[in-house]
Amino acid sequence: MAELTYRDAVARGIAQEMRRDDRVVLIGEDIAGAGGVFKTTVGLLDEFGPKRVIDTPIAEQAILGAAMGAAMTGLRPVAEIMFSDFFAVCWDIVVNQIAKTRYMTNGQVTLPLVVKTGNGGALRFGAQHSQSVENWAMAIPGVKVVTPSTPQDVVGLMAAAIRDDDPVLFFEHKGLYASKADVPDGDIVDSLGTAKVRREGSDATILALGLMVPRALEAAESLARNGIEAEVIDVRSLVPLDARTILGSVAKTGRLFTVEENPRLLGWGAEIAAIAVDECFWDLDGPVQRITTPHIPLPAADSLEDLVIPSAELVATTVEKALQS
Amino acid sequence: MRLPLSEHRYGEHEAVLPPPAQDRHDGADIDRDTRLRMYRKLQEMRQLEKRAYDLFMRQLVKGTSHLSLGMEAIAAGFGAAMRADDYTFATYRGHAHTLARGVGMTPLLAELLGRANGLMGGKGGSMHLTSVEHGMMGSYAIIGAHLTIANGAAWSAQYRESGQVAVCFFGDGTTNIGAFHEALNYAAVFRLPIVFVCENNLYMEYTPIADITAVPRPAADRATAYRLEPIVADGNDADDVYLTALSVLDRARRGDGPSLVEAVTYRHGGHSRADPGKYRPEPEVQAWKAYDPVTLYRNRLLRLGVQKAELDVIDKDVTDAVDLATEEAIAGELPPPASAFTEVWADGGSSWRN
């Protein structure tokens, strides 16, 4: 057991898999010599050499296309898209190519690849470098979508994503890179499609993802001081979705809240709210409530960004108010 | 001097004519068997494509399709030069390239008809023909994307030291999209074993390529930007394509990196089923139809002493095969409804939740 940052956990997860499987290769902008602009790939070039850890041009279509073509011909590439906002310049490769080729070819093509990317706000990078776009990804049949919130989950889910035979979009939260936690020694392999109950409670279920997980936990502590016991679930994987864990919790608590960093419309919580209303309406004691960033681009100024991304206080007051009414 | 698009009327631009002579490669060092093989492929591509058109007219093929009529020599020439385990990446105009790799006519036609015995069980259709076991790694229908994907296959071959080469075919219109330039630079930087083949049929869909491209030769004139040789091939002469292909495939296999070939050709028909191709000057259409890749090659073989009867037998064999494939495709079952829900994921299913 040793303390590890979320950012170092990324490199540890990739290194763990590169050691056991020489088909695993890594490409991206500044990921080799520089160890990544967010330092999530430090040490990998030294350990695995330039044949397996490759700096690319700024050419996101070329990067994802290379990953796809390599995956369909025997490698298991990990590609980095530096900021998830940049998916907008290579979304064709994700949406039209990576997500659909297995289906269109009736299973002739298998695409074991991972696209890792820095997602989310809190670093004051403004509207084009702070977006939470996991809901874009979730909308496309054919890609798996993972968002870890702790260093241990980063290692384990990265390993699971690399071992998975389907394309996985791996959303690292930029606002969590500096966070630290104890991580067990040795290999860690987690399971895709599993949510985790981070805090048990009987009064309300709060779903969160990425940076919103620690904020939801902080909110739950403050609610507990007022006698409300909230259950906090780290959704971790949007596709596949662990609906069983989520609905099981709602059956127990009777209330459901989602805490989403994405802008309001069609955020991931909207789909889960719809599932809950469809499938456990009679377990609900009140309306499902979504706590999201408003439907605006993210402002750069720290004071404004803090105002619009859901905070622990906003989560606590929303839940408390809802339960009192 | 060619006028810019804004200065001539739609369909009244200057005609671009094919080369005057057809006997340039009569003396090329290509053995008789290879030439007969290419001739048979040309016939297969021509006759199958015509049949695909007929089946459209009979409303048995739905949606759209993009025919290679007039452009067969590129697929035939490269197909004959490639190694069995090389990779082909084609576009939505990919029927000929699929045949070039040895894929059967029945699964191909059945796929166009949306039948269970189709190459992909009816789930891909005309624009996405794929047969991995034949090295036909897919037909891609979003302009530009597959150049980057072909790079990945070439990278994998390089990484595995397999000696395979990826050959990526695309149209002249592709040379103006960003992915083309990303892919060329990427391939050059990493010296990937890949051959990019621009099938320049002079028209980007309905618009003359010369009118919307800053250089006269859309692919070749971009080559030097990536430290590649500008290579132009006669895309209607299978021998010219074959000889060019041997040379660039060899270069890639030697580890000397990518090549960019511009094969100049002409579509006999419009861009797709919806397009009668009326924007093309009639003298241009007639000149290119007279410079037809199939008759050009047949005449060469006759000049080289192949008996007409032998060629007639090939033609008849191919007609019989196309007829049989048509029957088998039409007789094919509709895909089972459950197949709409398979093969989203590697486990064979489509489930996204528990």
**What pLDDT is attached to residue B5?**
67
Residue B140 to residue A103: CA distance in whole angstroms: 14
Q: Please list the residues that pair with A144 across neighbouring strands.
A: A168
| CB of B1 less than 8 A from some CB of A | no
How do residues A10-32 score in pLDDT, each as one tens digit?
999 999 999 999 999 999 999 99
Q: For chain B, give the percent of residues with pLDDT over 70.
A: 98
* A191 belongs to a structural domain: no
A103–B156 CB contact, under 8 Å:
no
Looking at the fold, whether A231 and A170 belong to one and the same domain comes out as no
CA neighbor of A258 nearest in space, from A296, A288, A218: A288
How do residues B324-341 score in pLDDT, each as one tens digit?
999 999 999 999 999 999
The answer to pTM > 0.90 is yes
* A260 belongs to a structural domain: yes
* B33-326 belongs to CATH 3.40.640.10: no
| Among B130, B151, B342, beta carbon nearest to A65 | B151
* A168 belongs to a structural domain: yes
**What pLDDT is attached to residue B3?**
63
Contacts with A106 from chain B: Cβ below 8 Å: 120-121, 123-124, 339, 342-343
What are the extents of the domains in chain B?
33-326
Q: What is the CATH classification number for the domain harbouring A149?
A: 3.40.50.970
**What pLDDT is attached to residue B275?**
84
Mutation site for A-interface testing, chosen from B343, B347, B350, B351 by largest number of A Cβ within 10 Å: B343
| CB of B188 less than 8 A from some CB of A | no
Looking at the fold, whether A30 and A171 belong to one and the same domain comes out as yes
Interface predicted TM-score (ipTM) of this complex, two decimals: 0.97
Looking at the fold, whether A258 and A178 belong to one and the same domain comes out as no
Spans in chain A with pLDDT lower than 50: none
Q: What is the CATH classification number for the domain harbouring A275?
A: 3.40.50.920
**What pLDDT is attached to residue A291?**
98
* A190 belongs to a structural domain: no
B353–A74 CB contact, under 8 Å:
no
Interface of A with B in 254-313 (CB under 8 A): 275
How do residues B191-235 score in pLDDT, each as one tens digit?
999 999 999 999 999 899 998 999 999 999 999 999 999 999 999
pLDDT band for B278, please (50, 70, 90 cuts): confident
Domain hosting A268: range is 196-324
Looking at the fold, whether A206 and A177 belong to one and the same domain comes out as no
Contacts with B351 from chain A: Cβ below 8 Å: 240
**What pLDDT is attached to residue B158?**
98
pLDDT band for B236, please (50, 70, 90 cuts): very high
HEC profile of chain B? CCCCHHHCCCCCCCCCCCCCCCCCCCCCCCCHHHHHHHHHHHHHHHHHHHHHHHHHHCCCCCCCCCCCCCCHHHHHHHHHHCCCCCEEEEECCCHHHHHHCCCCHHHHHHHHCCCCCCCCCCCCCHHHCCEHHHCEEEEECCCCHHHHHHHHHHHHHHHHCCCCCEEEEEEHHHHHCHHHHHHHHHHHHCCCCEEEEEEECCEECCEEHHHHCCCCCCCHHHHHHHCCCCEEEECCCHHHHHHHHHHHHHHHHCCCCCEEEEEECCCCCCCCCCCCCCCCCHHHHHHHHHCCHHHHHHHHHHHCCCCHHHHHHHHHHHHHHHHHHHHHHHHCCCCCHHHHHCCCCCCCCCCCEC
- Please confirm, yes or no, whether A173 is among the known catalytic residues: no
Looking at the fold, whether A279 and A132 belong to one and the same domain comes out as no
Q: Residue B56 is which amino acid?
A: F
Domain boundary residue among A183, A215, A234?
A183
Residue B335 to residue A87: CA distance in whole angstroms: 35
Looking at the fold, whether A250 and A156 belong to one and the same domain comes out as no
* A129 belongs to a structural domain: yes
pLDDT at B69 over 90: yes
How do residues A84-119 score in pLDDT, each as one tens digit?
999 999 999 999 999 999 999 999 999 999 999 999
Cβ atoms A273, A256 nearer than 8 A: yes
CA angle A155/A161/A164 to nearest 5° reads 140
Looking at the fold, whether A76 and A223 belong to one and the same domain comes out as no
Interface of B with A in 237-266 (CB under 8 A): none
Looking at the fold, whether A171 and A236 belong to one and the same domain comes out as no
Domains of chain A: total: 2
Domain boundary residue among A156, A183, A210?
A183
**What pLDDT is attached to residue B14?**
83
* A95 belongs to a structural domain: yes
CA neighbor of B78 nearest in space, from B245, B254, B195: B245
For residue B72 the two structure tokens come to 């067969």
A103–B142 CB contact, under 8 Å:
no
| Cβ neighbours of residue A198 closer than 8 Å, sequence gap 6 or more | A213, A216, A217, A232, A233, A234
pLDDT at B11 over 80: no
**What pLDDT is attached to residue B1?**
47
Residue of chain A whose alpha carbon sits nearest to that of B133? A108
B145–A71 CB contact, under 8 Å:
no
| CB of B179 less than 8 A from some CB of A | yes
* A70 belongs to a structural domain: yes
How many other C-beta atoms can be found within 10 angstroms of the C-beta atom of residue A190?
21
Looking at the fold, whether A13 and A125 belong to one and the same domain comes out as yes
| CB of B193 less than 8 A from some CB of A | no
| Among B124, B148, B152, beta carbon nearest to A104 | B124
Residue in A129, A173, A196, A290 annotated catalytic: A129
The residue-averaged pLDDT of B283-291 equals 94
* A96 belongs to a structural domain: yes
How many beta-carbon pairs below 8 A join chains A and B?
Answer: 164
Domain boundary residue among A183, A206, A229?
A183
| CB of B154 less than 8 A from some CB of A | yes
Q: Please list the residues that pair with B146 across neighbouring strands.
A: none
HEC profile of A249-278? HHHHHCCEEEEEEEECCCCHHHHHHHHHHH
Per DSSP, the three-state class of A182 is strand
Looking at the fold, whether A205 and A320 belong to one and the same domain comes out as yes
Looking at the fold, whether A117 and A229 belong to one and the same domain comes out as no
Looking at the fold, whether A17 and A161 belong to one and the same domain comes out as yes
